Amino acid sequence: MNSTEIIYNFAKSLDCDVRKNEPMSRHTTFKIGGLADAYIKVTNLSKLRKILVECKKNNASYMLLGNGSNVLVNDDGIRGTVLRLDGDFRLITLVDDTTIYCGAGATLAYLCKFAKKCGLTGLEFAWGIPGTVGGAVFMNAGAYDGEMKNAVHSVSHITSEGEIGRIEGDDLKFGYRTSVYRKNNCIITGVTLKLKKGNPDEIQAKMDDFMTRRTTKQPLEFPSAGSVFKRPEGNYAGALIEQCGLKGKLVGGAQVSEKHAGFIINRSGATAADVQNLIKEVQSTVSNETGYNLECELIIL
């Protein structure tokens, strides 16, 4: 019995939702990806801690997957275990008049609705971003001049050894599409957010405005992983790609969106190889013609 099978059986004994050879195309917004050896939904901190300790004990590889909205899983899949936070990790509570605690597995959409219902402003920018709260904090997601760092007070996590911890303030090291969690190998379990009192109608109006902008400018009708490239200093990735005549460029089933050149879409049965080859072609062309080197925002697993 290999280490992944040991973890699979252990998680099953904890009454987790466990699956073998799970297609990752079912769990990514790109609708692309091969099989994961094991896929486990973990519903509370106690079970997560036990699984991580067991992984450490058996030298078993694992990775956390949120809503799969900023990733591309390779066609040969993922060796080892994929963990998904569910159950208690999706709960949201109002701590006081302006403070929310949110489990890392909750979606940004659910969090935005909760904040609006409580009359709290500061998260409108996140309405329409299709990720989980944990994933959004991990990469300091942002849009329309807003970022998670402006709302996050502290982040709770668990280490690979099963130790519980918390980081707050400047120690979170938020930057453009990054945070301390990019490098510390901890799993984000929950987030405390500090917001401001606002008018629910005005909050809804702002959310509606941002959603209208998304639907009119972004190719939401096709599977994608959002913006593929980070914004280069002094310019915009989409503008550079369009300037190079790459809008609509096809490689296999992957295409540079005709609606927004910063997006690559799964036009028709695209493979991960199609997407990666298209990314390389875009990077090479933009570099040669403009001198800008486009860095991937997309995480390739």
Q: Which H, E and C letters describe 225-282, residue by residue?
A: EEECECCCCCCCHHHHHHHCCCCCCEECCEEECCCCCCEEEECCCCCHHHHHHHHHHH
Catalytic residue among 25, 177, 179, 224: 177
Contact 81, 37 (CB under 8 A): yes
Annotated catalytic residue 166: no
Question: What does the pLDDT average to over 112-129?
Answer: 97
Query: Which of 54, 227, 257, 267 is flagged as catalytic?
Result: 227
Per-residue pLDDT at 207 exceeds 90: yes
Asked if CATH classification 3.30.300.30 holds for the domain at 3-87, the reply, yes or no, is: no
With H, G, I as helix, E, B as strand and everything else as coil, classify residue 182. Answer: helix
Do 126 and 191 contact (CB within 8 A), yes or no? no
User: Is residue 227 flagged as an active site residue?
Assistant: yes
Paired tokens of 153: 């007070």
Examine the pLDDT at 1 and tell me if it is beyond 90. Answer: no
Contact indicator for 272, 71 with CB cutoff of 8 Å: no
| 91-202 and 219-300 in the same fold | no
- Classified as helix, coil or strand, 109 is helix
**Can you give the residue ranges of every domain in the chain?**
3-87, 91-202, 219-300
What CATH number has the domain spanning 91-202?
3.30.465.10
Cβ(41)–Cβ(86) below 8 Å: yes
d(CA 250, CA 129): 25
Q: What is the pLDDT of residues 273-298, one digit of tens each?
A: 999 999 999 999 999 999 999 999 99
**Has residue 35 got a pLDDT over 90?**
yes
Does domain 219-300 fall under CATH 3.90.78.10? My reply is yes
pTM greater than the 0.85 cutoff = yes
289 is annotated as an active-site residue: no
